[in-house]
Structure 1
Amino acid sequence: MRRLVLAVCLVSLLAGCGTFIGDSPPPSDERAVAAVEEANRSIAPVDAYRFEMDMHVAASADGQSRTVQVDGDGAVNVSAKRMRATSQTQDQTVDSYVDGYRAYQGCQEPWGGYAVENVSRTEPWATATPLHRQVLLFERSNVYWRGNETLDGNRTVLVTASPSADTLESIMDRRRTGDVGLDGASLENATARLWLDPETNRPVQSELRIRISQRGATATATITVQYTGYDEPTRVSIPPDVYDDPYQLGCPGAG
């Protein structure tokens, strides 16, 4: 079950999976397509932002169940090509960094240290960050206009999406998948929501819900990300020890 929990965490972070089970979604709404296009244009010049993440994963197999709650936050400076992200579970806090085209993933105890991987140069650097990756998900999915919705007391515009496994696969973060086998996993359902500021067209919050199965086990995950601090002064500092002899083949014990 541990491997399925890891798998569903990866998929919920746009890591991709195997086959999709379900009916084909209806065609996109033109108004929703236009809203996503405006959102993409609105974030193109963004130089910096911050994000907060909340993820809940529940898995069950052979009469047993397990839940994982992950909280996180981070900061992105596009012009400096730097990102910091911190995730925390009940007993672990993990930091990760991107410096240029090198990504450093913190390894859990008892190993510690960092694993290093290359960031793809085939797409703009910003597409490796949460905000741009979520908008890209909507660009490549069937999308639907849901109109005005109040979020935390503020008026927003809501667009939903029905991403397929192929869509998730097309924008997956390959650095995250190398140590967790996803063969045989099936994506049974995936839905996404994107709340936009009606004045700036910038994303305020995104949500992805997925359900996958693997070898008789099932897992569901909901990941919510809030985006704030657009173009506010953002300095991403990276501790010197991140660069000290990092693991080249992923974190120990991740397989």
Structure 2
Amino acid sequence: MERQLPTLKIEGTTFLVDVEQMVLVHLDDPDTKIRFAEMDNEDTHYTLEYDIAHKDIAGIHTKNNDLKLVEIPRMTQLDAEGMALKYNVPLRGISEKMDYEVMVENPEIAMRMQGKLNRIEIEGHPFYVDFRMWSLRPHNDFSTQGISMEPLHENEQYEYFPEDTVFLYQPKKHELFEPDWSSITELPKDTVIIKFPMLKEMDAVGYAHRFNRPLKEVLLETNFKPVTQAIKRQLSQTTLPELFKENKERLAQEKVQINKDVKRKSRKI
């Protein structure tokens, strides 16, 4: 039987408290969700700039008269049982603890903080998520340095990452393949199309340390997992067919133009 989620009223509006996803969900409008990561974490509670008219977090649409600063209890008070289940810690006394205290008591997070590296599975092969080396290092393969995090990080910075960014991966070499995107017209042999999770989802602890961010903030933004998965995409699930088509048409036109130029020069000679 699915556990019934507790509720919280904000200025007369009822929200479901979903600590598994770390969000407040509008009871009558489930598409409206307020993430705890969007609030200010004061440790003993959260503060939220709330739009009374839209019954949502304040934004550019919020009028001054509709803006109200409200206090939200910490998740250990809102749903102690949910926090105990989520972080695999004892229920007793949990409501007296700060959210961050409970998070770092989680055995998997505790082991990561003690130095155990997270892993990501790519086409069935485990890679170590190593922020110190700034790479994804393949298990038991010392012939390669693996996959640099730099191109993954670049795409996150420029916000290309969330939905449509994919990479070409060579399973036999445990490396990415970087083609000439201006001339590629088909999927190269022995490559597959891979979509990666965001870096902070692969390892919130390593990410926080690398970018000098408070761990309590990063843990609110992610659901910590010691092992994540890279997702294989089919060609039809990407925009690559359109790119291949555009390149073929452009290269064909360039070839025609080159042939015309050659014939023109031949006539002059």
TM-score by length of 2: 0.20
Specify which structure has the bigger relative contact order, considering alpha-carbon pairs within 8 angstroms and separated by 6 or more residues.
1
Q: Normalized per residue, which structure has more strand?
A: 1
Q: Normalized per residue, which structure has more helix?
A: 2
TM-score by length of 1: 0.20
